[in-house]
Structure 1
């Protein structure tokens, strides 16, 4: 369904959210989660795209408006109480330096115009290579890379924007995304050779790191949005997600590969290692590889996100059991045959 101008009755509903960058993985997951929770969802996308390519999601109105066109966005999103910043530049240092600050300014401008709460997905880049094993909201941020330093600056800019009292903001920090389609470590590296009985693991097999299953994270955005009036003008909350080593991944991959006929009886998955030195060399000519190579430390440094503060705000974090989350993520990639039940627990 596509509508650029919802009726006044629609926009007066108590629970209207504007999602910036709704065509992306997080944007679409958030659109679905808010709509399923009964919110009126206004989904901003770049103008000029093929409307036929936009999925028909009940309760979601697609808005083909440029994100920097604040006046048009504000007019069409009149009444929205929450804005989700799901905009992302290409994954290179240069693209982030050139585009991310402007995208943040655009999100702040529309949230200020609407006097809304702006919600931003954060990550662990802020803490740098010397980060401790447990990351809390008050853990000192000592970013050591270009992407991390920029993340810190963007969050500082967002906090400063709330000091005039015309908007509020929440940073919801999470680990690596998986699920809801392509564009993650799962499909680009880890499981791309799974149908051939092989996976590629980017780090030591015994180092535990945080992972965010996107449908769970999206439902958490909804729960935090519902609790926004109980928060400070600027708030940061940590989403724990799945804190796992490579072992649960290997166990689930092995079972799935056997079921799908990708592994002969009695055989085990082959585990390859990501060629980081080659990735670094490739980064000299391919900026995306350079940005990825700079994040190698995240795979070698055990860390987790403490969600104590989040649980105090929303109760138990939305949590799909890891095996089911991985199965659905692979199904979303079109890799699995047969039905995969969708399971989501509080």
Structure 2
């Protein structure tokens, strides 16, 4: 009987780390899930939680003996100071244990690398011209990983996605967009008609599994794109309006209200809150249409996992504790109302 493959996931209690932990376990892998000392993880079949420092290479390598894949789910805090101080070390910790295991390192990445001049279609070979501090740090981190593959002791693959949502808190969705959704209000950070790239983390994590299962076909270093969704603010508003109707969040006129994020307020807060200042740097992404082209991913692993957007959004909101059980009578009421409207208009 064939033994299941083993994966070591660093930062497994983080948003991406947890999505990857679940995805690999559901696919039948044995998962060694690292978290910081003193933390705990939920009981998941096939998952061994390991409380250890991320740079304790010897302990991690022993616990994950035989692992063929390492997933880098570690990330610094939001501030420039934290990124400058921590990102090179976190990247090196992942490299060190991957080299010790002779494994494949898988690194989630963002569109930060492309900067304000990015074209509408972002391909794997699109020139990277980061215009922000975090974008330049991301480029350096990926170069650090690439350099570590040159002597044949490990392989690595970078998988780039759009703005993350799903699998917990800490995204634009929960921190800004749906903060007032239970009052029937969507706050959107950019123009409502500009399409931008989004990655639903459970789908992106399943793509990691698909690529890991084809690791023998990979070169020493590969860069892939996860296409995910290309959505406008209006797409978000339309999907949220349906859910808000069901939940009874809409005002008496039945319309979801929208407002723009106050970037002036954000910049003012950024004078005393480094996290806000860091977010303000990324404003250009909301004004610049962009989508990720996944040609190499499709060639390697076939069609990427794709949860229909309304379903993904509903699940993400439920994970945030915002949804009560679906009100079927509200769904019926809206259906009847729409049918009556369509008959009267015909």
TM over 0.5: yes
Q: Equivalent of 2:308, from 313, 317, 321?
A: 321
1:46 to 36, 40, 52: 36
Equivalent residues in 2 for 1:286-297 (5 A)? 286-297=273-284
Correspondence for 2:184: 197
Work out whether residues 187 and 261 of structure 2, in 8 Å CA contact, stay in contact via their aligned partners in 1: yes
Q: Is the 8 A contact 2:247 2:326 kept in 1?
A: no
CA-CA distance at 1:265 after TM superposition: 4.7
Q: Summarize the alignment of residues 231-242 of structure 1 with structure 2, pairs less than 5 Å apart.
A: 231-242=218-229
- Structure 2 CA distance for aligned equivalents of residues 143 and 282 of structure 1: 24
Cα displacement (A) at 1:94: 1.0
* Secondary structure class of the residue paired with 1:294: helix
SS of match in other structure, 2:204: helix
Secondary structure of the residue aligned to 2:223 is: strand
Pair 1:120 & 2:115 matched: no
Could you tell me how far apart the structure 2 residues matched to 1:133 and 1:276 are? Answer: 23
Verify the 8 A CA contact 1:180 1:332 in the aligned structure 2: yes
1:298-317 CA deviation, whole Å, 9 max, x = no partner? Answer: 00000000011100011001
| Cross-structure match for 2:319 | 332
Moved more, 113-122 or 247-256: 247-256
Give 5+ residue unaligned stretches, structure 1.
1-8, 341-346
- Contact (CA 8 Å) 1:258, 1:264: kept in 2 or not? no
Confirm or deny that 1:30 pairs with 2:17. no
Map 1:1-346 → 2, pairs under 5 A: 13-49=3-39, 51=40, 54-338=41-325
Give the CA deviation at 1:339. Answer: 5.8
- Contact residue 83 and residue 117 of structure 1 kept, 8 A: yes
Alignment CA distance shift 1:37-1:290 (3 Å): same
Ranges in structure 2 where 5+ consecutive residues have no aligned partner: 328-346
User: Could you tell me whether the CA contact under 8 Å between 1:175 and 1:241 is conserved in 2?
Assistant: yes
User: How far off its partner does 1:267 sit?
Assistant: 2.5
What TM-score, normalized by structure 1, do the two folds share? 0.92
- Distance, in Å, in 2 between the alignment partners of 1:56 and 1:265 is 44
Say whether the 8 Å CA contact 2:200–2:312 is kept in structure 1: yes
Give the Å deviation of 1:48.
2.0
CA distance in 2 between counterparts of 1:112 and 1:14 reads 21
Residue aligning to 1:5? none
The 3-state SS of whatever aligns with 1:94 is: helix
- CA–CA distance in 2 between the matches of 1:36 and 1:91? 30
**Contact 1:125-1:148 within 8 A present in 2 as well:** yes
Mark the structure with the bigger radius of gyration: 2
Distance 1:67 1:191 in 2: 33
SS at match of 1:164: coil
Deviations 1:202-251 (A, max 9, x none): 00001000110111001001001001111111000000001111122111
How big is the alpha-carbon RMSD for the aligned residues of Structure 1 and Structure 2? 1.3
Question: How many residue pairs align between the two structures?
Answer: 327
In structure 2, distance between residues paired with 1:144 and 1:254: 35
Once the two structures are superposed, residues 87-112 of structure 1 have per-residue CA deviations (whole angstroms, 9 ceiling, x without a partner) of 01101111101000000000000000
